[in-house]
A and B are shown apart, each in its own frame.
Chain A
Amino acid sequence: MKFVGKIWPRLYIAIAIVFFAAPLLSMARFAFQRIPVISLGKDNLFKRWTIDGLLTTLRDPEFAHSLSVSLKVAFFTVLVLLFLMVPTTLWVHLSAPRWRGVVETVTILPYVVPPIALVVGVSGTYRSIAPWFLASNYSLVPFYAILAMPFTFRSLDVGIKALDLRTLVDAAKSLGASSGRVMWNVLLPNLRTSLINAAFLTITVVLGEFTIASLLLKRTLPMYMAQAQGSEPQGALGLGLLILVLTTILFTLVSIIRKKDSTNINAKNINSGMVP
């Protein structure tokens, strides 16, 4: 019984690892080896590996442009999202606790309206009344903020619940701090884990988002990759792999920051931000 109990999980995990690793390894081979799969055999398995394809793509001015569009949009999305959600979540906890349920339900609405439906609705409304708005690359910002809203609220909500908010605010105010000072010097430092967590997750969402960008014809990074697949497939796949590696590093950083902040007893619950 003990024997069986140890063998099956290991076997199953091994199969799972093969399933999850195989596509990534195939992708790496395609991106970095200049041999068509048809003529691949035992004798040339380690020949003609090169990163030229990726380098060509990275030198492409179109790539630089799409990267800068994506980074700018990511930056402003994080900014808009935090400016909107931090005061809202604090207000809910400090002044209007009865509204918490309503606000929480509203933050889940982006899951009800899938990105493809959202973008159809957006073009149905804004295209006729504010075409200048959809023409700008920054028109993506509010919609990406909407997509990132569920986990941002959750991350902040969990972070605030772990604080004794009322006491912190009253203590700071009775010492003569202004509202702005309370926010900047007391609340934000205490919420840094939540803020960093929300910001990093938002950045990964923005850098990977394809649906809205493609239907609004914005030249973001994923759009560039989809188009490069036709012209420079090796470079496109290499870029996809590079982005995957960077995303993994970003996620690892988030979990390290989360662990470092061990004073925050609820820190591990912020993990739930990844799952609605």
Chain B
Amino acid sequence: MARTGILSLGQSDPKGGSHTRTPLQRFQLPVKFKPIGLVPFFGFVGLFLVWPAISLFRLAIQPTKNSDISAMREAITGDYLDSFIYTIKLSLLTALLGVLLGSLLAASVLRIERPKWFRNFMTSFAGVAANLGGIPLAFAFIAALGTQGLITKMIDYFGVNLSDAGFRISNFAGITIVYLYFQIPLMFLIMVPAFNGLRASWSESAASLGAAPWQYWRYVGLPLLTPALLGGFLLLFSNAFSAYATAYALSSGGARLVPVQIRFFLQGNTITGKDNLGYALAAWMIIIMLITMTGYLFVRRRAEKWQQ
């Protein structure tokens, strides 16, 4: 396995050369025993993350009752496929809007130099809002935009009835708005350091070479920000895709999102004999997240390499 490969690499560790060893290091473990200190860590992750995830897949490939195809296959047909498409669409839209509006917010806030506390305040608030989610967030939006919400009432005062217009806090448009509450601040937190990484001297040199502001952004700024924008997009996508509590509380468990559907199968829904479908839906979620996070790591590695 990969483990032995890494061990054999470890033996040619240049730092382990005898002439660089201090007297203290002589008493250290030989190189091939070095990973031994990592056993508790790998054991813990194995027991509480990897093992449940693997048995999930094992259960997911078994067929459901009265069916001869595996649950994994059944989970991407009919209504289940529709909920995947619905969830992916929602995640894509909130990620796209989050990237756009969050980057704009970061750029705008960085433009404001005074008062000095303002930037810190916005960063602190973004830290809170990006991690906000679940029950309190759903409560806040029900109080604002629910059928009896304060904002709903205010908009109604101006002659627009949200309910009549087909808007519900638990439908596609509603969940999108709620998710933006944490997506925009998350993107803001990603983009502030990225914008700060653009040195003033670069735009000055571009200007002194005769570039118009749009040319600077088109040929210098944007390419430099691409990793942050792309990485941010993938992160926001996975953030929305795996969210559960907010959607659950907004819709009282009735949303068409995949995570909410999984609950339905897990809550002892043995009458239908289709509890394997819950495992299969979760397994497909992991596959989609795996693709997204691999892309994210790839982008981040590229960005780190460039920075060095």
Contact = CB atoms under 8 A, between A and B. Distances in A.
B6 A98 contact: yes
Contacts of A247: 128, 131-132
Interface in B107-143: 107-109, 111-112, 120, 123-125, 127-137, 139-141, 143
B279 interface: yes
Contact of A20 (B9, B24, B129): B129
Given A9-B111, A23-B144, A123-B266, A112 B38 contact: no
A13 B105 CA distance: 7
**Which residue of B24, B41, B42, B267 has the most chain A CB atoms within 10 A of its CB atom?**
B41
Contact of A222 (B128, B135, B180): B135
Nearest to B137: A23
A98 B45 contact: no
A114 B289 contact: yes
A188 interface: no
Count class of interface residues, chain A: 35 or more
B131 to A, nearest CB: 6
Given A103-B38, A120-B278, A125 B52 contact: yes
A97 B15 CA distance: 10
A88 interface: yes
Contact of B186 (A24, A95, A236, A275): A275
Identify which of B51, B120, B134 gathers the most chain A CB atoms within 10 Å of its CB. Answer: B134
Contacts of B132: 208, 244, 247
Contacts of B152: 37
B108 A114 contact: no
Contacts of B107: 9
Interface string B20-41: 0010100011000011011011
B274 interface: no
Interface string B149-173: 1111100000000000000000000
- Interface size on B, as a range, is 35 or more
B179 interface: no
Interface in B45-65: 45, 47-53, 55-56, 59
Interface of A: 5-6, 8-10, 12-13, 16, 19-20, 22-27, 29-31, 36-38, 40, 84-85, 87-88, 91-92, 95-99, 102-103, 105-106, 108-126, 142-143, 145-146, 149, 170, 173-174, 204-205, 208-211, 214-215, 222, 225-226, 229, 236-237, 240-241, 243-244, 247-248, 251-252, 255, 271-272, 274-276
B257 to A, nearest CB: 10
A88 B41 CA distance: 7
Interface stretch (B73-81, B217-225, B235-243): B235-243
B206 interface: no
A41 B254 CA distance: 33
6 contacts: A111-B289, A170-B22, A170-B24, A208-B131, A211-B259, A215-B263
A215 B248 CA distance: 12
Given A116-B259, A125-B51, A208-B134, A20 B125 contact: yes
Nearest to A80: B44
B181 interface: yes
